[in-house]
Amino acid sequence: MSARFVEAQPWWRPGAPAALAVMIVLLATASRHGFHGDELYFRMLPPAWWYDDQPPLTVWLAHAAASVSDAVWVQRLPASLAAGAGALVAGLFPRLLGADVRVQRIAAWAHAFTVYPLLMGHVMLTASLDLLAWQLVVLGVVAALTGCRHALTWAGAAAGVACWNKLLVLVLVAAVFVALAACARWVLRTRDAWCGAALLVAVGGFQVGAQIVHGVPMLDVSADLVARHGALNRWLVVPLLVVFVGPPFVQVAWRGLWWRPGSRRAAHPGADGGDDGGRHVEADGWRSRPADDARVKAFGGVTNDPFSTDDGHAGRIAPDPPQQRTGPVLAVMGAIVLVFALVSPAQPYYAVAVFLPLVAVGWARAAADEEHVWRRAPIVLTANAVVAALICLPIVPVSSPAFSIVSALDPMQRDQTDWPSLAAQMAAARPTGAAIVTDSYALAGAAHQYGPALGVPRADVASWHNALWSLGPPRSDGGTRDVLAVGGDERRIRAAFTRCDPAGRLIAPHDPFGLDGTTMLRCSDPRGGWGAVWPTLRRLGG
């Protein structure tokens, strides 16, 4: 059994061209439409240690970007960097499995320009960083399964940091635990696994504790999303999984489920068809070198040791060869996350981040078996990238008739339009000196972002939606008694004020967040004062 000798080079080099390319494309198109509604929300929130509906990392980054510039591309720079880093990480999966440089490059390009990474890299959402975090955790698991010391320690650290961005990573952690317990229990008995768990608790425990202390409001947000969209999302989970991963790559992901280090062939012979002269492949310190024959035999043919120590031996955990199967572990992880997405379908994309690494792993198997998809990889990657870019990126102008088709396929496109117009309509309908109070954090964010240029002070903008409710009623002293109430349950709003008169409806041609036709009311004199009214108006949900 032999494998192609991989040319020694830094771990980042195979994926660097794809990473650089996707960052350039994302930044070049970042400002074509405008802010996303969630981005406006993040910009309005003040920095804090926790929020009702999310951890604070994305908000912190949004404020850091806003302190530099109001340019949209600056706001989205962290998402673009995360997308580039994701391409680098994707290239490491086949490297861990002994695949040659070409396979690593293909894995990086395939990840960089498929649908979900482009979607999350184009806008700065909590899911933008979450995708990278999930990749790093899964990479740590795969590295541990191939015998790399400290891999689970780093995976635990990555999961802990991810808890400051999105607590959904705990679902992945639970899936990892169950998968390892079922398929590779020896990994859980290592000191590295315990160190990883300790780092997860130490770094991420604060955010879990903050939610528990405050009654876990995130569960209310999730429950509202499930109640309003769960029936549809449940039907969309699997179809969107195929779309987000990339339809041409589903076969590759399936092959990733059956990969086992040390199988019949570990790497594609390479484009030049050269042989390695009987040498095996070993990655040492994220660089490659010929492997020692005795160690090759001990680890089933091909060894990969990116976390090894200088002596080349102390880095190994030394599991039995049958337990080095990454495919079954990834399959169990994917199944658990998929079941979670079906049982709690707050968002249909929850399972995507655990299946994208399967594509990266699958390229190693596809190359080893010289499958059709591998032989035509450049054509497949190019076709998938073109379609993904047309759907995910703001290439089609908003004024084009084709935009309605694109935005129907990708609602995030329309969620980046109409916000300045909506802010202008609210400012025009607002009585002189009155505040603007909204039922939507996105509308509040729009008024907060564009209001000052329209004569609306930012202190006169408030919302009872999600984390904005905790900021209190308009003006910190609660002194204003006249408001323009935008959206929400009209009966409840009328009951909260002494008087409410119709003020028209919002007109949003592209209907971002489904806000076209939202009612506006001119209201005055909250019954019993803001202290009595504000708690009754609170809304947690999407």
**Least confident residue range of 45-59, 229-243, 262-276, 387-401:** 262-276
How many angstroms separate the most distant Cα atoms in the chain?
Answer: 87
- Exposure pattern of 426-461 as b/e (b: 16+ CB <10 Å)? bbebbeeebbbbbbbbbbbbbbbbbbeeeebeeebb
Q: Report CA 293 to chain centroid distance, whole Å.
A: 41
CB 100 within 8 A of CB 371: no
Statement: residue 176 has pLDDT above 80? yes
Closest-CA residue to 104 (of 115, 117, 88): 88
Domain boundary assignment for the chain: 16-30+76-309+321-392, 419-537
What confidence category does residue 322 fall into, taking pLDDT thresholds of 50, 70 and 90?
Answer: very low
pLDDT given at position 283: 37
- What number of helices (H) and strands (E) belong to the chain? 25, 7
User: In terms of pLDDT, which residue wins out, 234 or 481?
Assistant: 234
What's the pLDDT score for residue 477?
53
**Which H or E run contains 408?**
helix 403-409
List all residues 6 or more positions away from 335 whose beta carbon is below 8 Å from its beta carbon. Answer: none
Split at pLDDT 50, 70, 90, the class of 215 is: very high
Find the mean pLDDT for residues 377-390. Answer: 94
pLDDT at 97: 87
H helix runs in 257-376, sequence order: 293-298, 326-343, 352-368, 372-375
Model pLDDT, residue 417: 96
Any idea how long the chain is? Answer: 542
Task: Show the tokens assigned to 372.
Answer: 């059709």
Judged by average pLDDT, the poorest of 73-87, 151-165, 274-288 is: 274-288
Integer-rounded Cα Rg, in Å, for the chain is 26
pLDDT over 90 (residue 150)? yes
The residues that bridge with 437 in the sheet, in sequence order, are 462, 485
pTM over 0.95: no
Task: Tell me if residue 345 falls in helix, strand or coil.
Answer: coil
CA atoms within 13 A on the CB side of 157: 8
Kind and range of the H or E run holding 497: strand 497-505
Give the model's pLDDT for residue 524: 94
SS3 track for 54-123: CCCHHHHHHHHHHHHCCCHHHHCHHHHHHHHHHHHHHHHHHHHCCCCHHHHHHHHHHHHCCHHHHHHHHC
Name the one residue in this structure whose structure tokens are 């290592």: 190
d(CA 505, CA 516): 8
Instruction: For helices 115-122 and 217-245, give the axis angle rounded to 10 degrees.
Output: 130
What percent of the chain clears pLDDT 70, i.e. is strictly above it?
85
Q: How far is CA 177 from CA 181, 256, 459, in A?
A: 6, 20, 47
With a pLDDT cut of 90, the percent of the chain lying above it is 73
Q: What is the pLDDT at residue 32? A: 92
Answer for the pair 190, 156: CB distance below 8 angstroms, yes or no.
no
Q: Which pLDDT does position 278 carry in this prediction?
A: 35
Single-letter residue type at 191 = R
Top mean pLDDT of 247-256, 344-353, 445-454 is at 445-454
Rounded Cα distance between 466 and 224, Å, is 11
Q: How confident is the model at residue 149 (pLDDT cuts 50, 70, 90)?
A: confident
Confidence band (pLDDT; 50, 70, 90) for 259?
low
For strands 281-284 and 519-526, give the pairing. unpaired
CB 410 within 8 Å of CB 441: no
Mean pLDDT for the stretch of residues 511-517: 96
pLDDT tier for residue 8 given thresholds of 50, 70 and 90: low
The number of beta carbons lying within 10 Å of the beta carbon of residue 269 is: 18
Residue 298 pLDDT > 80:
no
DSSP 230-275: HHHHHHHHHHHHHHHH-GGGHHHHHHHTT--TTSS--S---TT---
Give the number of other CB atoms < 10 A from CB of residue 467: 24
Region 5-32: mean pLDDT is 87
pLDDT of residue 478: 54
Do the beta carbons of residue 95 and residue 364 sit within 8 Å?
A: no
Terminal alpha carbon distance of the chain: 55
Q: Beta 482-486 vs 435-438: how paired, if at all?
A: parallel
pLDDT for the residue numbered 371: 65
- What strands lie across the sheet with 482-486, from one edge to the other? 461-463, 435-438, 482-486, 519-526, 497-505
456 band by pLDDT with thresholds 50, 70 and 90: very high
pLDDT exceeds 80 at position 369: no
Check: CB of residue 15 under 8 Å from CB of residue 430. Answer: no
Is residue 460 within 8 A of residue 44, CB to CB? The reply is no
| Beta bridge partners of residue 465, listed in sequence order | 539
pLDDT per residue over 466-484, tens digit each?
999 999 998 755 567 899 9
pLDDT at 272: 39
Per-residue tokens: 104: 């690593």
Q: Return d(Cα 197, Cα 74) in angstroms, integer.
A: 35
- Which tokens go with 191? 């000191």
**What are the two backbone dihedrals, phi and then psi, of residue 409, each rounded to the nearest 5 degrees?**
-75, -35
User: Does the pLDDT at position 311 exceed 80?
Assistant: no
d(CA 97, CA 29): 35
pLDDT for 23 beyond 70: yes
Q: What is the mean pLDDT of the chain?
A: 86
Q: Is the dihedral of CA 314, 319, 322, 326 positive or negative?
A: negative
Average pLDDT on 382-397 reads 95
Dihedrals φ, ψ of 236, to 5°?
-90, -15
